[in-house]
Amino acid sequence: MASTKKITLKSSDGEAFEVDEAVALESQTIKHMIEDDCADSILAKVIEYCKKHVDAAASEEKPSDEDLKMWDAEFVKVDQATLFDLILAANYLNIKSLLDLTCQTVA
């Protein structure tokens, strides 16, 4: 018997359930989570953005709004295809600040 891919589902109280991927894909929500993926390079950029903003908010020496805006401006200096992929990823991952930034860059 061919091995099937397993998916681990975790309940709100921490219980983990390992099920076959086919079983998990019966849920449209899970199916969309698994299928709507983004490339590793785009995910890396999204993580970079999130880390910068979390670190800036948590830092005792908070960077000025102007410094963060300058960093954001440099962050979105990418080719149009990458910018479009960042918009899709920000929308899918529901990262409003990144979605706003990338959409403003296109406008």
Does 80 score more than 90 pLDDT?
yes
Closest CA to 81 of 51, 53, 42, 35: 42
Closest CA to 106 of 90, 94, 17: 90
Closest CA to 45 of 6, 5, 101, 107: 101
In the DSSP assignment, the letter for residue 76 is: T
Higher-pLDDT residue of 58, 86: 86
Question: Phi/psi zone of residue 33: left (φ > 0), alpha (ψ -120 to 50 degrees), beta?
Answer: alpha
Q: Residue 60's pLDDT is what?
A: 78
Does 32 score more than 90 pLDDT?
no
Tell me what the pLDDT averaged over the chain comes to. 90
Domains and CATH numbers, the chain: 6-35 (no CATH), 40-106 (3.30.710.10)
User: What's the rounded mean pLDDT across residues 46-62?
Assistant: 90
Residue 91's SS3 state is helix
pTM: 0.72
Task: Identify each DSSP E strand in 21-85 by its residue range.
Answer: none
User: What's the rounded mean pLDDT across residues 79-104?
Assistant: 95
